[in-house]
Amino acid sequence: MSEYFYGSFDSGGEELKEDTTDSFSFLENAKLIGEAPTGLKIYLEDYVYTYLYKYAKFYRGEERSAALIGTFTEDLDGKCAIINGAVQIPIDIEGADGEFLSEVHLQEIEKQREKYFPDSVLMGWMHTQPGYGIFLTTQDMLIQKKFFKEAYQGLMIIDPIENADAFFAWEDGEIKSARGYYIYYNKNEQMQNYMVANRIGVSNEELNDREDVVMHFRKKDRMRKQEIQNKKIVRLVTALSSVLFLMCSTMAVSLIQYRERLAKIESQLNNVGSNYSDILSRLEEENLQIVFAEENIEDIEVPIAEEVNKTSETEDLIIISEELEEDEENTSNVDNENIEDNKENVSTKETAEGDEVDLYTVKKGDSLIKICYQYYNGTNMLGKLVEINNLESPNKIYEGQVLKLPRLQ
């Protein structure tokens, strides 16, 4: 393995030993993965990269971790972390008390480092997250802050299911994505020795079988999660449907009630209209204060008037003939009848011209035409009555009004 120049760390820690026989020329063939980093530049040796992926894929059904070994320098146009080794972190180590990474694990890592990478230091760690993608968990953050506080110590996340990976490094006091890193090629004897001693001993067929089992497990897990999600959706839809049903039922009941109220109001309006029509008909039939004529003079038909006149003339002839026949014998009786006719009038009065008139008080339901027919057997005296009583119209008289009725000679 090539020798390196070791500069000082940002943390102000110990000075690493220096060897000027190498100028890092092997980094010239480095290949950028991702975007160019703006802070710490991370160089990962190809043997280490291959071993970490093989390790992650072998245990792709569970989370695993490994320690990253290498050196740090500031002589390559900025801060550079050169990772040339990796050490598995055992999960069943005695005294770990079930912790994913503890002081007991770090002690075991230090033993492996001194054995296989004596001239390198701990540069960070790697964590696998099978099928969960690339992101920092709360556990990752706690472990990084507790055990990997130096500015050059980073974290590599690998998802062996998705074949994805990324580096995270310290920047401004926070652990952030490094955006990208470099893979370089070199004769790495120390890493080769470690790989031989810690062989991941499975064939490609066994690895494929493991992969099939893991994929089946992941598929079942996704199906279970999807089923849970579907149940939640069904519950939500059921709840919404129940709410909508209750709302529709309430609206239907309200509409029925409103319809009944509208029908009731309509019935009441019909009753009011009927009552109003009855009142109008009564007002037309009965004059309460002012008595209007039931018919206009113009509405009297000529044939009816002529028939009435003929009837009146016939009656007069009969009366005259009877009077002539019994004139001598019943003179006294005729005088008595005249006296009785005069008594039927309310009162008698002489006008200024010497004509005698009867005074008639208008009753409810009277009209001037009706009075004419009653006292004169026709409408010949209608104009006379309008004139003598100073009426504005023959159609307008009122209850209680006193009318003058001239006596016929």
pLDDT tens across 251-266, in order? 999 889 888 889 989 8
Q: Identify whether 1 is part of a domain.
A: no
The CATH number of residue 396's host domain is 3.10.350.10
Q: Identify whether 74 is part of a domain.
A: yes
Alpha helices in 286-393 (DSSP H): 302-325, 331-344, 368-376, 382-388
Q: Identify whether 228 is part of a domain.
A: yes
**Beta partners for residue 81, in sequence order:** 42, 72
- Distance CA(85)–CA(68), nearest Å, equals 6
For the chain, give percent helix, strand, coil, nearest 5: 45, 20, 35
What lies within 8 Å, CB to CB, of 293 at 6+ separation is: 367, 368, 369, 394, 395, 396, 397
Q: Is the pLDDT of residue 123 over 80?
A: yes
Q: What is the pLDDT of residue 330?
A: 42
Q: Which residue has the higher pLDDT, 350 or 213?
A: 213
Count Cβ atoms within 10 A of the Cβ of residue 85 and give its class: 0-12 exposed, 13-18 middle, 19 or more buried. buried
Interval 271-277 mean pLDDT: 81
| φ, ψ dihedrals at 270, nearest 5° | -60, -40
Per-residue pLDDT band at 194 (split at 50, 70, 90):
very high
What lies within 8 Å, CB to CB, of 186 at 6+ separation is: 1, 2, 26, 45, 46, 84
- Distance CA(366)–CA(357), nearest Å, equals 19
Helix, strand or coil, per DSSP, at residue 172:
coil
Looking at the structure, tell me whether residues 34 and 172 fall in a common domain.
yes
pTM for the model stands at: 0.47
Maximum distance among all Cα pairs of the chain, rounded to whole angstroms? 187
Looking at the structure, tell me whether residues 34 and 174 fall in a common domain.
yes
Helix, strand or coil, per DSSP, at residue 409:
coil
Structure-token pair, residue 356: 């005698």
- The amino acid occupying position 294 is E
Looking at the structure, tell me whether residues 87 and 161 fall in a common domain.
yes
Count Cβ atoms within 10 A of the Cβ of residue 192 and give its class: 0-12 exposed, 13-18 middle, 19 or more buried. middle
Q: What is the pLDDT of residue 345?
A: 38
- Distance CA(143)–CA(130), nearest Å, equals 19
DSSP-assigned letter for residue 78: B
Q: Identify whether 282 is part of a domain.
A: no
What is the domain range of residue 40? Answer: 25-201
Looking at the structure, tell me whether residues 39 and 146 fall in a common domain.
yes
Q: Which residue has the higher pLDDT, 352 or 267?
A: 267
Looking at the structure, tell me whether residues 212 and 184 fall in a common domain.
no
Q: Select from 201, 221, 236 the last residue of a domain.
A: 201
Structure-token pair, residue 41: 């530049």
Q: Identify whether 168 is part of a domain.
A: yes
Looking at the structure, tell me whether residues 37 and 158 fall in a common domain.
yes
Looking at the structure, tell me whether residues 188 and 312 fall in a common domain.
no
pLDDT in tens, 317-374: 444 445 444 444 443 343 444 334 433 434 444 444 446 888 999 998 899 999 999 8
Q: What is the pLDDT of residue 389?
A: 92
Looking at the structure, tell me whether residues 224 and 121 fall in a common domain.
no
- The percent of residues in the chain predicted with pLDDT above 70, rounded, is 71
Looking at the structure, tell me whether residues 64 and 174 fall in a common domain.
yes
What lies within 8 Å, CB to CB, of 124 at 6+ separation is: 67, 68, 81, 83, 148, 152, 153, 154, 155, 156
Q: What is the pLDDT of residue 408?
A: 80
Q: Identify whether 266 is part of a domain.
A: no
Per-residue pLDDT band at 44 (split at 50, 70, 90):
very high
Looking at the structure, tell me whether residues 195 and 213 fall in a common domain.
no
**171-185, 327-341, 393-407: least confidently modelled range:** 327-341
Q: Give the number of domains in the chain.
A: 3
Q: Identify whether 383 is part of a domain.
A: yes
- Distance CA(41)–CA(77), nearest Å, equals 10
Looking at the structure, tell me whether residues 101 and 221 fall in a common domain.
no
Looking at the structure, tell me whether residues 213 and 197 fall in a common domain.
no
